[in-house]
Structure 1
Amino acid sequence: MQGWERLRQLQPEFASPFFSPAFVAAADAARGGDVEIARIRRGDELVGLWAFHRIRGVAWPVGRCFNDAHNIISANIPPIDWRWLLKELNLKAFHFHSLVGPTAGLADQDCFETIDAFSLQLGDDSPATLRRMEQSHTTLKKQQQKTRKMARELGEISLEIDCRDADLLDKTIQLKREQYLRTKPIDVFAPQWPHKMLRHLFEKPRHGAYGMLSVLRAGDQLVAAHYGIREGDLLHYWFPVYDPRFAIYSPGTALFKSVVRDATQHGIRTIDMGYGEPSYKRKQTDTQGKVIYGVTSHSSSYHAWHRLQYQTQQLARYMPFKQQVKKWMRTVASHSNPLQLS
């Protein structure tokens, strides 16, 4: 464990809780013990650690699509060649969707796309940071009026930033599943293991990385909730959700503002919003980075096939009637089983 934490200190990106032993252990326990950990040495020195799932000879990030930051944990000096590593482990390929940190060990063609990632640096005065963000983004500033209206009509607004009620965790996941069924082709919580993983992190003692549930109430009604993973002074904003009955009040934004306002007094200095392009991330953050999506493989045919798939998906973005096709797909596939999460 000491070697693991020593390696994590070599790159700032490895501060993400997704590189923590606790997250790896939670995913392993939830999935029945299928996590493998490669230890890379030069002589007697441990120079790298890589945790992954092996599925039909192919490696995937620990926690699959729930993992928002992955890589080999190493200084990468000299670089660890990915294709050499895959051959040593008898793996055909590694699929990554949010690679952070050193990339010198990848071939140029392995990186299919770079994707924006966002975070909010709170420092030692999160209320001041919130006031500054309100001046920059009218959505945050106007939320004050909606929150006051919600208080008048529903009851006093209160935040429980670290709620320990397991029943409310279950309710939060159910609300998130209902949101996915309304908006996405895949319910990522359809398998049992993601729920088990979140519960495992939720039940951990308050040291290392652990799951943190924040709930916003209006009177005695839960109007919004967020389940994140916290380690030290960093909170990864993972699964925000709100009760659609109260959508007129924008309770999700109200929850985020409440978490930011109270963050300093709870020791949170950074909120990592992860990667992707939802507009709210740009409105609620002040720091932008990049993650990498792609595939590395020593099999040229395997690599070429998956690169072709990616290029086809990119072309589909510019299809005529794209929105109508997406709406149809979401309708017919809304209850599909996410086999890629198995």
Structure 2
Amino acid sequence: MSMSASEAPGETGLAEPARVHAVRTVPLDALTARELETWHRLREANPALDSPYFHPGFAQAVQASGRQVSVAVGRDRAGEIRALLPHHRDRSLIRPAGWPAADFQGPVLAPGTHFPPLGLLADGVRGFAFDHLVEDCTDFEPWIESRRPSPFLDVSGGLDGYLGRASRSGKDNMGQARRRAAKAERTHGTVRFVADSTDHEVLERVIELKRAQYAATGAKDYFSAPDRHELMSGLLRTRGTSFAGVLSTLHAGEKLLAAHFGIRSGSVLHWWFPVYDPEFSNLAPGWMLLRELTIAAPALGITRIDLGRGDDEYKRRAKTGETLVCQGIVTRSSARQTLRRARDSVVETAKSSALGPGLRKIVRGLRNLNR
């Protein structure tokens, strides 16, 4: 089999790393079958990209929901595709496809491939903003401003396997969830768990509960944009183990205690939109749901549940490990980077201040500034 120049062995006899030489942006729906096949092949060759966010099915679902997705296609000097990065354009700024709910981001490429981030800044694009970039993207290092943990549960072996790896707090909460499930059954009726539901009415209830949660906490309502609702519906209709939406529900009698809507690819499930009915908050139904999902993991073919970036207490207690995701912006403007760092410094100061509760509105406003 012939090799391109970037693959040919050097004097040491070792293959040189692949290197992207040129980047060209095309509409997602203009990709050929061969280019999509290359996307799958590159992703499968890189264990760091096993999250469903890197599957072309996610970008395609976002596009089908009504949001235009473009793809930066990187090729080596021989013209071979070495990287693909799906994204949205907002005037002079581009962001990863699915933003602001894409919990893992970065170019799809084989391990060791060199990607030129500044190659994204063409045709009037002045910045590529990211907030969940996988840490393996070392070429982006000059533009990384911060790193934050993204916890996960190793659920290989189901509940027994998880308990063997969990922290003391994780074990205690799973034990309490078992006892609370028994209490819920005595009080409200038979407890029923459905690991992979296709009930669109339940999905509507999940969105309703999530929007109520946003309103109660003052968080920006993700579902205020109509395309986000359509994205969830489209993902629920997507079936299969390669890529699919997954709706899990927990009932006691006729009451929906908790539910979760996420996405999966292969053996990885991303914990995306968990909700519970506040009426049953004393039962900690979120833990009950997570316990049932952990029990069901082997039958579903799931070995890892990614919880996504965040410092929620339940994530700290439940996790068996974590990865790091990066925040920053690729730009040629040093002034823009300075402004962002100043903003982030104010946000972190407000969060740690004793006046924190009174500063939440200010913090949210700063976070919503054009990144």
SS at match of 1:65: coil
Report which structure shows greater RCO (CA 8 Å, sep ≥6): 1
Contact persistence 1:22–1:201 (CA under 8 A): no
TM-score by length of 1: 0.90
List runs of 5+ in structure 2 lacking aligned partners. Answer: 1-35
Q: Letter of the aligned partner of 2:61 in structure 1? A: A
Q: Letter of the aligned partner of 2:330 in structure 1? A: T
CA distance in 2 between counterparts of 1:305 and 1:245 reads 43
In the alignment of these two chains, the number of paired residues is 331
Query: Do residues 220 (structure 1) and 254 (structure 2) align?
Result: yes
CA distance in 2 between counterparts of 1:164 and 1:214 reads 9
Q: Which residue does 2:321 correspond to in 1?
A: 287
CA distance in 1 between counterparts of 2:239 and 2:174 reads 33
CA distance in 1 between counterparts of 2:343 and 2:349 reads 10
Deviates more, 1:2-11 or 1:156-165: 2-11
Match of residue 101, structure 2, among 63, 66, 69: 66
Q: 1:275 to 1:318 in 2, by over 3 A?
A: closer
Q: Deviations over 1:111-159 (max 9, x none)?
A: 1111011111122x20312443677222222222222111100011110
List runs of 5+ in structure 1 lacking aligned partners. Answer: none
Q: 1:112 to 1:152 in 2, by over 3 A?
A: same
Q: Which residue does 1:45 correspond to in 2?
A: 80
Query: Do residues 113 (structure 1) and 162 (structure 2) align?
Result: no
Query: Do residues 18 (structure 1) and 53 (structure 2) align?
Result: yes
5 Å-filtered alignment, 1:193-212, equals 193-212=227-246
* Deviation, structure 1 residue 229: 0.3
* Deviation, structure 1 residue 274: 1.3
Match of residue 188, structure 1, among 222, 234, 240: 222
Over the matched positions of the two proteins, sequence identity in percent amounts to: 27
After the TM superposition, which segments of 4 or more aligned residues of structure 1 sit over 6 Å from their partners?
Answer: 338-341
Q: Letter of the aligned partner of 1:56 in structure 2? A: R
Who wins on radius of gyration, i.e. which is larger?
2
* Deviation, structure 1 residue 107: 4.3
Q: Which residue does 1:165 correspond to in 2?
A: 199
CA distance in 2 between counterparts of 1:143 and 1:78 reads 45
CA distance in 2 between counterparts of 1:103 and 1:317 reads 28
Match of residue 122, structure 1, among 130, 145, 155: 155
CA distance in 2 between counterparts of 1:97 and 1:74 reads 19
Q: Deviations over 1:276-305 (max 9, x none)?
A: 111111222212111111111112222222
Deviates more, 1:125-134 or 1:150-159: 125-134
Q: Letter of the aligned partner of 1:136 in structure 2? A: R
* Deviation, structure 1 residue 10: 3.2
* Deviation, structure 1 residue 306: 2.0
Contact persistence 1:50–1:72 (CA under 8 A): yes
Give the root-mean-square deviation of aligned CA atoms.
Answer: 2.2
Deviates more, 1:205-214 or 1:193-202: 205-214
* Deviation, structure 1 residue 49: 0.4
Q: Letter of the aligned partner of 2:148 in structure 1? A: I
TM-score by length of 2: 0.84
